[in-house]
């Protein structure tokens, strides 16, 4: 059991904190935002993440998890410090490291006995060295520390499961002592034979980017295959299923859609291209994946336009789903927002429905009509567009939808509806790469 402080109570920090507490460690989650800390102390979770509240409540009740805005004190108290602050994208496409560096300075100033400093945030390769330099420049007494890179591979919407049952844990550490301490932090995992990989710091930092960019590339690839399936009359799902049976390819992340979004893939792909550039390399595959992803959003809008015979202006359109994927309220880089922008620009009257997103969207589109029910969003529309594969949309009553729409037109950008059923009811519809009669 270790004493741990996690700095940053965003989605990564909070899941990591609660998860490590569940592994038996004594964890303090620290954040400069006092309002957020107070919210957490009251048992309120600042974002939607299935299973997280239960995990937090359980560990708070068992006195293994606490929250504080006193970061200095929390650093002094713990042996292992995790940096889990945001690394947002700068306009240049590079990762903004200002929060990471600020926290490193504070850690240096408060280093009172030997500690392992560990980065969870996704940081460009070479950041570890910058963090160590900053800590060293700010140390006040004669005291030692080791630095470790321990990237997260958490998917929003299933991060609790991903944390408690990971495919692997990567620990980038130069010193065996620091590696052993981190391994101890993950004790229940190595006891259960989860692969724990010991690498150097740069390799660990690279593994995170290489993994995320590869997954983004895979999605862009299947999206382009889907677009081609549309042209040649093939069915992308059968193509993807057959491809996935090949162990060299694997079936995961071969689901076509309106383009990937979220807080990681768009940011990390661009950052990787930049890291390559800084090292004199052109990352052609990832550059292409980024372009293909932007294009996919345009392809979706063109499909809708075609369904509406090029007449968007004045049409009432219902957008089903705002989050970038189901089981999260995160709308960062969501393809849904791009679709709404295209529609507004061309004069459509847009309304939306999402099972969990409501307030955040108002900051971006103050005039958007956010409906409180699926039925309200669908009623009297000229077309509806499924943008997020929430289960509630999979199971919607299509016969009822048919009756209450002004015109029965559906664009299913997530391929969750049965084309057979849509045809039988009489919808005019389209999807991404599945044979369909329009
Ligand atoms: C991702 C990585 O999966 C995770 O390991 C990492 O550490 C953080 O970034 P996340 O962004 O939460 O996780 O979601 P993910 O499930 O990977 O989906 C990302 C985007 O790709 C979503 O927009 C999703 O809809 C899309 N996607 C995913 C597809 O379009 N098709 C797929 O087959 C899979």
Residues 227 and 178 in one domain: no
pLDDT in tens, the chain (438 residues): 899 999 999 999 999 999 999 999 999 999 999 999 999 999 999 999 999 999 999 999 999 999 999 999 999 999 999 999 998 888 887 889 999 999 999 999 999 999 999 999 888 888 999 999 999 999 988 899 999 999 999 999 999 999 999 999 999 999 999 999 999 999 999 888 899 999 999 999 999 999 999 999 999 999 999 999 999 999 999 999 999 999 999 999 999 999 999 999 999 999 999 999 999 999 999 999 999 999 999 999 999 999 999 999 999 999 999 999 999 999 999 999 999 999 999 999 999 999 999 888 988 999 899 999 999 999 999 999 999 999 999 999 999 999 999 999 999 999 999 999 999 999 999 999 997 544
Supply the residue whose CA is at minimum distance from atom 22 of ligand 1.
260
For residue 268, the CA-to-ligand 1 centroid distance in Å is 12
Supply the residue whose CA is at minimum distance from atom 25 of ligand 1.
325
Residues 88 and 154 in one domain: yes
Q: Which domain holds residue 268?
A: 209-290
Residues 24 and 132 in one domain: yes
- Spatial CA neighbour of 309 closest among 160, 430, 159: 430
Domain-embedded: residue 323: no
Residues 99 and 232 in one domain: no
Specify the CATH number for the domain of residue 237.
1.10.1040.10
Residues 167 and 114 in one domain: yes
Residues 252 and 137 in one domain: no
- DSSP bridge pairs for 95: 89
Residues 94 and 224 in one domain: no
Answer yes or no: are the C-beta atoms of 148 and 173 closer than 8 Å: yes
Domain-embedded: residue 407: no
Residues 254 and 158 in one domain: no
Q: What are the distances in angstroms from CA 297 to CA 230, 305, 422?
A: 15, 13, 23
H-only helix segments in 152-283: 159-164, 176-185, 187-191, 201-232, 236-244, 265-278
- Cα separation, 258 vs 415, in Å, equals 10
- Cα separation, 176 vs 76, in Å, equals 23
Residues 189 and 218 in one domain: no
Residues 178 and 141 in one domain: yes
Domain-embedded: residue 340: no
Domain count, the chain: 2
Kind and range of the H or E run holding 320: strand 316-320
Q: Could you identify the atom of ligand 1 that is nearest to the CA of residue 159?
A: 12
Residue 265 beta carbon below 6 angstroms from any ligand 1 atom: yes
φ/ψ of residue 146, rounded to 5? -125, 150
Look at residue 365 and give its three-state secondary structure: coil
Dmax (CA) of the chain = 77
- Spatial CA neighbour of 325 closest among 313, 339, 335: 335
Residues 165 and 236 in one domain: no
Residue 428 beta carbon below 6 angstroms from any ligand 1 atom: no
| Sheet of 409-412, strands arranged across | 369-370, 349-353, 316-320, 383-386, 409-412, 428-430
Strands 26-30 and 65-68: parallel
Q: Give me the active site residues, please.
A: 264
For the residues of 41-78, what is the DSSP string, one character each? HTT--SS--TTHHHHHHHHHHTTSEEEES-HHHHHHH-
Answer yes or no: are the C-beta atoms of 262 and 324 closer than 8 Å: yes
For the residues of 104-158, what is the DSSP string, one character each? HHHHHHT--S-EEEEE-S---TTHHHHHHHHHHHH--SS--EEEEE----PPTTS
Domain-embedded: residue 408: no
What pTM was estimated for this model as a whole?
Answer: 0.94
Residue 214 beta carbon below 6 angstroms from any ligand 1 atom: no
Last residue of a domain, one of 261, 290, 319: 290
Residue 253 beta carbon below 6 angstroms from any ligand 1 atom: yes
403 CB contacts (<8 Å, ≥6 apart)?
none
């Amino acid at each position: 059991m270790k004493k741990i402080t996690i700095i940053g109570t965003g989605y990564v920090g909070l899941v990591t904190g609660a998860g490590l507490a569940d592994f038996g460690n004594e964890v303090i989650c620290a954040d400069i935002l006092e309002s957020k800390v107070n919210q957490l102390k009251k048992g309120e979770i600042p974002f939607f993440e299935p299973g997280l509240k239960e995990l937090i409540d359980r560990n708070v009740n068992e006195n293994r998890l606490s929250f504080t805005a006193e970061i200095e004190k929390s650093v002094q108290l713990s042996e292992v410090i995790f940096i889990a602050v945001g690394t947002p994208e700068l306009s240049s496409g590079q990762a903004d490291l200002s929060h990471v560096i600020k926290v490193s300075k504070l850690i240096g100033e408060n280093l009172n006995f030997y500690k392992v400093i560990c980065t969870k945030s996704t940081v460009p390769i070479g950041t570890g060295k910058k963090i160590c330099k900053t800590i060293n420049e700010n140390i006040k007494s004669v005291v030692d520390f080791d630095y470790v890179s321990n990237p997260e591979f958490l998917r929003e919407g299933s991060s609790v499961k991903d944390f408690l049952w990971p495919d692997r844990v990567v620990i980038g550490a130069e010193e065996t002592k620091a590696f052993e301490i981190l391994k101890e932090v993950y004790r229940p995992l190595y006891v259960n034979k989860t692969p724990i990989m010991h690498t150097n710091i740069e390799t660990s930092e690279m593994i995170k980017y290489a993994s995320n960019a590869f997954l983004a590339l895979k999605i862009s690839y299947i999206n382009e295959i889907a677009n081609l399936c549309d042209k040649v009359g093939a069915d992308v799902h059968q193509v993807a299923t057959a491809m996935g049976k090949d162990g060299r390819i694997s079936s995961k992340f071969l689901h076509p859609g309106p383009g990937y979004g979220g807080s990681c893939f768009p940011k990390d792909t661009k950052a990787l291209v930049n890291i390559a550039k800084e090292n004199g390399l052109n990352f052609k595959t990832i550059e292409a994946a980024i372009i293909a992803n932007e294009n996919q959003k345009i392809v979706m809008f063109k499909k809708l336009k075609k369904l509406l015979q090029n007449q968007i202006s004045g049409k009432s359109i219902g957008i089903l789903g705002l989050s970038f994927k189901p089981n999260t309220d995160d709308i960062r880089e969501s393809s849904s927002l791009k679709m709404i922008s295209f529609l507004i620009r061309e004069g459509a009257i847009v309304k939306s429905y999402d099972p969990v997103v409501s307030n955040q969207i108002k900051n971006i589109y103050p005039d958007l009509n956010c409906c409180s029910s699926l039925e309200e969003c669908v009623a009297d529309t000229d077309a509806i567009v499924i943008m997020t594969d929430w289960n509630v949309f999979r199971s919607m009553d299509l016969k009822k939808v048919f009756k209450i729409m002004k015109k029965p037109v559906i664009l299913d950008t997530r391929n969750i509806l049965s084309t057979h059923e849509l045809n039988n009811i009489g919808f005019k519809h389209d999807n991404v790469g599945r044979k369909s009669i329009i």
